[in-house]
Amino acid sequence: MDIKELKETDIWILYRKHLDFMNLRHIFADTDLNNRMYNGDQWEGLKLKDAEKIQHNFIKQIVKQKVSNITSNLFAVNYSPENIESPEFFELASKTCDLLNKKASKVWDKDFMDKKVKKWAKQAAINDESINYVTYDFDNDMPINEIISKNDIMYGNENEEEIQLQPYILLRQRKTIIEIQQMMEKEGLTFDINEIVTDNDTSTTAGDSAKDEVEEKVWLITKLYREKGTIHFSQSTQYITIKEDRDTGLTLYPIAHFNWEDQEGNARGVGEVRNLIPNQLETNKIAMRRAITSKSISYPQKVVNIDAIQDLSSVNKIGGVVKFKDMGATKASDVFMITQPGQMGPDSEKLENELITLSRDLNNAGDATTGNINPESASGRAILAVQNAQNQPLSDQLVGLKSFLEDTARIWFDMWKTYANKGLIIEVENKNSITGESNMELQQVPNYILEALETSVKVDITPKGAFDKYAQELSLENMFTQGKITFEEYVDSLDPDSVMPKPKLEKIMKKRQEAQKQIDMLEQQAQVMKNQAQMQMNNQNEIEGIAQQGNQLMAQAMQNS
């Protein structure tokens, strides 16, 4: 079949419309630029012969510091029932939420969510937004969270930040020809191999390395849209429709996104890097100018009349003798001399340092927040107070990250409600009205309960920063020294990853307990021996008393006789 005879699918036509819009907004170009600036490729395209590409990458330092600040805590999903009026229904709803919390904890651990949270935060700081695309693993009965590049998602309304208000969403994935064939075979579709046309269109992929591929691939476009209260989807390549309209049964788009900072009328927000680029480039240019100038004037130069030198190689020999030709009355200084090094003004260095310092301070990544504080010269509470004051500008990012995780947890609940293989199973206590005995039974949560259950999803935060731990342990230590808690209570209260070595303290406590047990055992043995000796003494006294009574009886008998 001639490619000219192939007709593009409706989804592909819509996809090309969004490509044009994103190119117009420079989204693809900005993504690559932001990544290069963060990763240190800040002289992309520059070719120099006699100088190295100097740069002071303060962008990475600022991004890393801010990301670590908002992800230094531990997160946990917590479902709780809301708007429950009936006591009976509330009890069942509470047990259902307990089950959901256990399932969420399992997903969090198995899907390495702590690691992914840091990646999402870093991605948003570098490139404005990060996306979580949630799919469902039916074999393991759990949601799977996938990190998607902003280049690979297109919103029906690019001016609306709220995902659930989007009219439709396009997702794209690079698939090999074999993967497309397997998808079509699974759908029972017959196909002409010529219809699966490789596009080699990698110019809009995120990252320079992603533009090179080993195998031939095509774009697979997935369209998500809402219809009659549920989410539908369809999939196609440029010329082939693989999946027609399918109802997922979900009530929420399986997508959550985190904007680093909101921007009015922009669904994708604004990141940290793009506004730092001008300062970063100017700092690099000043450093280059200083290096080139220093190389040119900061070292002595030899000025030689080569016609008057017998052996030119002797000029560069250390301690060598430079022999001149017969020059008559010509002075040696007229033939060979060394220039004095020049000096640069301090203004360029001052401007360079000011750009770096101001860029860090204005972006809340100064010494107070980058850890350049001596903990020995300040108390843990004082350091925490300084850090909290410095991190106040990041409160928007922390709230945004929490909201992003709560949206993710709502999608998990929506999927469990819709896809759980055996439904949600809880333990219910049943009482026998006659005997009064109770037993626990497994019961599937009815659908009407799940439909009526309005869950309030919260993301709990546990402080885990270095100075958070220091302040907490200092408080425990003060309580112990003041006699308000015992040594055992102090050790039990320490976290497993505390700065104070809890395992060693537990080992000391265990040795003390074993030593005390031995002392108690010896005391018990001594008490037993003491009791035995006392019994023997008592028996001896009884024997002597009986003997005395016998002697008295014998004496009395003899007297009577």
Q: What is the dihedral of CA 156, 162, 164, 167, to 10 degrees?
A: -20
- Is 117 buried (19+), middle (13-18) or exposed (0-12) by CB count in 10 A? buried
Average pLDDT, integer, range 56-80? 85
Three-state secondary-structure class, residue 86: coil
Count of CA atoms in the C-beta half-sphere (13 A) of 409:
27
Given a cut of 60, whether residue 371 has pLDDT beyond it is: no
Query: Residue 433: pLDDT above 50?
Result: yes
For CA atoms 239, 240, 244, 250, the dihedral sign is: negative
pLDDT at 236: 92
Lowest-pLDDT range of 44-53, 151-160, 229-238 = 44-53
- At 133, is the secondary structure helix, strand, or coil? strand
Query: Which pLDDT value is given to residue 41?
Result: 81
Average pLDDT over residues 483-493: 82
pLDDT of residue 463: 54
Expressed in angstroms, the distance from the first to the final Cα of the chain is 148
Q: Give the integer Cα–Cα distance in Å for 136 and 371.
A: 41
What single-letter amino acid sits at 274? R
Cα–chain center distance at 10: 38
Calculate the average pLDDT of the chain. Answer: 79
Q: SS3 of 457, please?
A: strand
Quote the crossing angle between the two packed helices 347-362 and 277-297, to the nearest 10°.
160
Mean pLDDT computed over 15-34: 93
**Could you tell me what percentage of the chain is helix, strand and coil, using 3-state DSSP and rounding each to the nearest 5?**
50, 20, 30
Paired residues of 462 in beta bridges: 74
Check residue 335 and give its pLDDT: 72
List, for residues 529-552, the tens digit of each pLDDT value.
888 878 878 777 777 777 787 777
pLDDT digits (tens, 9 = 90+) for 131-141: 999 999 988 88
More confident: 480 or 404: 404
- pLDDT, position 369: 47
What is the rounded distance in angstroms from the CA atom of residue 507 to the CA atom of residue 514? 10
Residue boundaries of the structural domains of the chain: 501-561
Burial class (CB in 10 A: 0-12, 13-18, 19+), 134: buried
DSSP state of 340: P
Task: Give pLDDT, residue 368.
Answer: 47
Q: With beta carbons less than 8 A apart as the criterion, state whether 74 and 445 touch.
A: no
Neighbours of 325 (CB within 10 A): 11
Beta bridge pairs of residue 75: 461
What confidence tier does 347 reach under pLDDT thresholds 50, 70, 90? low
Instruction: Examine the pLDDT at 382 and tell me if it is beyond 60.
Output: no
| Distance separating alpha carbons of residues 214 and 217, to the nearest angstrom | 9
DSSP state of 309: B
Tokens 């000219």: give the residue.
4
Q: CA-to-CA distance for 161 and 131, rounded, in angstroms?
A: 12
Sequence-ordered list of residues with C-beta below 8 angstroms from that of 541, at least 6 positions apart, any chain? none
Q: How far is Cα 158 from Cα 166, in angstroms, rounded to an integer?
A: 9
Amino acid at 392: Q
Q: Which residue matches tokens 């690559």?
A: 32
3 state SS of 214: coil
Choose between 285 and 159: higher pLDDT: 159
Cα–Cα distance measured from residue 155 to residue 161, given in angstroms and rounded to the nearest whole number: 9
Average pLDDT over residues 20-48: 85
d(CA 437, CA 435): 5
Strand partners, 135: 144
Q: How far apart, in whole angstroms, are the C-alpha atoms of residue 347 and residue 358?
A: 16
Percent above pLDDT 70 for the chain: 75
Average pLDDT of the residues in 36-60: 76
Nearest to 145 by CA among 155, 125, 157, 130: 130
Largest Cα span, the chain: 168
Half-sphere exposure of 435 (CA within 13 A, CB side): 6
- The DSSP element (H or E) to which 171 belongs, if any, is strand 168-176
Residue 551 C-alpha from the chain's centroid: 97
Instruction: Output DSSP code: residue 445.
Output: P
Which run of H or E residues covers position 456?
strand 454-462
Helix, strand, or coil here: 241? strand
Q: What are phi and psi of 327, to 5 degrees?
A: -115, 0
The residue among 66 and 306 whose pLDDT is bigger is 66
Token digits of residue 126:
């570098």
How many helices, marked H, and strands, marked E, lie in the chain? 14, 14
pTM: 0.72
